Chains A and B, each alone.
Chain A
Amino acid sequence: MIEGILIGLTTALTIQNILMVMVGCFFGTIIGMLPGLGPMTAIALMIPITYGFDPATGLILMAGVYYGAVFGGSTSSILLNAPGVPGTVATSFDGYPMAQQGKAGKALAIAAWSSFAGGTLSAIYLLFMAPSLSKVSLSFRSPDYFALMILGLTAIAAFSSKGQFLKAMMMVVLGLMLASVGQDSLSDITRFTFDNMNLTDGISFVLVVMATFAMSEALTIILKRNDPTSAAKQVSLTELGSIKINKEERTKMYKTIPRSSVIGFLIGVLPGAGATIASFLAYGMERNVVSDEEKEKFGKGSVNGLSAPETANNAACSGSFVPMLTLGIPGSGTTAVMLGALLGFGVQPGPRLYMTNPEIFWSIIMSMYIGMVILLILNLPLIPYIARILAVPKNYLIPLILFFSVTGIYVMSFNNFDIYLMIGIAVVATFLRLYDFPMPPLILAFVLGGLMEENLRRSLLLSNGSWEFLWDRTLTACILATTVLIVLWHIYKTFKKKI
């Protein structure tokens, strides 16, 4: 492991990579502060830039954007009660009341230190857990992988859809259908191309991400007459006050941070869960473990209530890298985008990644530490200045997002058809968004589609076409049982709500 850490440090500490972490964190913070534009859009917009880099640098840049977006989301949550990303909703429960009491600077400082500590601690957990998990996952076989993918897709549909499980499952199927277009990986038979040569190689992953996130979010903003930059304008005008944290507050944070980081990390590791669930669970748990006197302060500006979700959401971000790096199966929409980008670089994440490409594996982990330090330096003193940059009118912001989207496809394919297809998918996605059809399950399914078919093919061929492979191995059966439990739990929740 020490050798790996040294490889990671050597790669992550090059001037280019430090610069990429800084650019990523800065850009991510900006996007994260804009309500409506999440980390997936931020990462999608970065993809064209990463074409010019090696895989390690590209991924370091995208990881920086991810942490930055979650970090930036907390700022608008605290100052305006308008969370930039869903993972920071719980932050507003105590952060906003604290800001209203004239302690906005203090609230931001608590959030920044908690995020820093949560991110750093979870990077340490990742450091120890990822190599061991990689070794364990080497014993995984095709049926286990197939079952894991079913679990991931079901979980993301259950957790990301806010009571719209069937809609999310429809999006999962649509994502898998889009992934099935083009040549079959084994027989080279073309499917669903309708004799169009442009579809022979399938639909590009970058195209689908750009269309369903960057482009459709931009169109949705115009269609709904939203102005994401208005929040930033208000942030730039807010008086922050002192950013000093006193001894009593520090003592409270010392207790909250370790337990919330463990919850955040573990939830992040679970497929489909992620920062939003982690932050809510950490908030709920913290409320249960504190004294009655402190419990009364929850919702009114409690230090514990602010520190817990902020620690957990950053810890969950690092945790979500575990399934991607060790199994090659992303646990969230955001890591699915990163997986797609890695596949574009010709790198196959999975249990062998840390043996075949140790520089990528370890440099991502090492860059997390560097990223956390940069975010701490960036978030606290620079927030009012970043917000001023953000106060760019939406009349400029939207065309620039569209421009980045089209450029991403143009430099990749030099093909008009891909641009038209992207616009078409973006229009459909915009319409679906209006009716609350979630997009992250579609992206995860699109990324996993090929792998899922491959593993199902191997499993069925090995078992002579029998579906017994689903319960032949204990591990496969356990994973599928978890999937069934998630579905049953979801049905129970819906049923209970109706009663």
Chain B
Amino acid sequence: MNINTTKIISLLFFIFSAFYLYTAYQIQVFAFDENAPFNARTFPIYLGYAGLFFSGLKLILPDPNTIKVDHKNLEYKKTGILILIAIIYGATILKVGYFLTTSLFLFASYYFLGERRWILMILLSFPFVAAFMYLLHGILDIYLRDPFLQSIGVMG
């Protein structure tokens, strides 16, 4: 068997399906439901077996259309930074508020992706977010939580 990344992914999916199946068997159902033709664990159990079946087939059968990815040409650094910025954005958005964190997230993302046109970067972050917030909150009446703007009295 030729080992390639697709096979490794299939193996991981096989292990995941086995874990899913084990967890499915552990689902607690009501006593009167235990021997019913269908209960809360029936469908997940079938899914677990289906996962094992398809990933098992992918593992066993030969793979003529092997996908080769040239990792040297992939931009891991920028992608990683972008994911990190998104995580920080997610961590601060509730405490700090939508306006400030979103604007800073956009500004930082533009910067790390290599943009250096400062005026455009500012225009497409702070005023852009303010306009979008007005569209959502002011016009479409979608509630946006923003402790920062509330603390300085901009939002009610």
List residues of A whose CB falls within 8 A of some B CB.
48-49, 51-53, 163-164, 166-167, 169-170, 173-174, 176-177, 180, 184, 186-187, 189, 191-192, 219, 222-225, 393-396, 398-400, 402-403, 406-407, 410-411, 414-416, 419-420, 423, 427, 430, 432, 434-437, 452-453, 456-457, 460-461, 463-465, 497-498
- The 0/1 profile, CB within 8 Å of A marked 1, for residues 8-32 of chain B is 0110010001001001100111100
If over half of B's interface residues share one DSSP class (helix, strand or loop), that class is named, otherwise mixed; here it is helix
A435 touching B144 by the CB < 8 A rule? no
Q: How many A-B residue pairs have CB under 8 A?
A: 175
Cβ-defined partner of A435 (8 Å) among B5, B20, B44: B5
B155 touches A (CB below 8 Å): no
Q: Interface residue count for B (Cβ, 8 Å)? A: 71
B119 touches A (CB below 8 Å): no
Residues of A within 8 A of B124 (CB): 396, 400
Give the complex CA separation of A174 and B58 in angstroms.
Answer: 15
User: Smallest distance from the beta carbon of A189 to chain B beta carbons, Å?
Assistant: 4
Contact A189-B27, Cβ < 8 Å, known A435-B69, A437-B9: yes
- The 0/1 profile, CB within 8 Å of A marked 1, for residues 53-77 of chain B is 0110110010011010100011110
Give the complex CA separation of A164 and B65 in angstroms.
Answer: 8
B102 touching A403 by the CB < 8 A rule? yes
- The winner among A49, A53, A184 for most chain B CB atoms within 10 A is A184
Residues of B within 8 A of A51 (CB): 140, 142
From A392, which residue of chain B is reached at the shortest CB distance? B124
Give the complex CA separation of A451 and B115 in angstroms.
Answer: 46
Contact A461-B37, Cβ < 8 Å, known A192-B44, A223-B75: yes
B141 touching A52 by the CB < 8 A rule? yes
Supply 19 further A-B pairs (C-beta < 8 A) apart from A170-B13, A173-B50, A222-B82.
A51-B140, A52-B141, A166-B57, A167-B58, A169-B54, A176-B50, A396-B120, A398-B109, A399-B109, A402-B109, A406-B89, A410-B93, A411-B136, A411-B143, A419-B89, A419-B90, A423-B83, A423-B87, A435-B5
Cβ-defined partner of B37 (8 Å) among A191, A403, A420, A465: A465
B90 touching A460 by the CB < 8 A rule? no
B91 touches A (CB below 8 Å): yes
Residues of B within 8 A of A407 (CB): 98, 102, 132, 136
Residues of B within 8 A of A456 (CB): 38, 42-43
If over half of A's interface residues share one DSSP class (helix, strand or loop), that class is named, otherwise mixed; here it is helix
Give the complex CA separation of A430 and B145 in angstroms.
Answer: 30
Can you offer 13 A-B residue contacts whose CB atoms are under 8 A? A48-B142, A52-B140, A163-B65, A166-B58, A187-B30, A189-B30, A222-B78, A223-B75, A225-B75, A395-B110, A407-B132, A423-B83, A453-B43
A49 touching B110 by the CB < 8 A rule? no
B38 touching A457 by the CB < 8 A rule? yes
Cβ-defined partner of B29 (8 Å) among A52, A173, A187: A187
Give the complex CA separation of A166 and B6 in angstroms.
Answer: 11
A223 touching B74 by the CB < 8 A rule? yes
Cβ-defined partner of A396 (8 Å) among B65, B93, B102, B115: B115
Residues of A within 8 A of B69 (CB): 434-435
User: Smallest distance from the beta carbon of B147 to chain A beta carbons, Å?
Assistant: 12
Residues of B within 8 A of A432 (CB): 9
B122 touches A (CB below 8 Å): no
Give the complex CA separation of A184 and B87 in angstroms.
Answer: 30
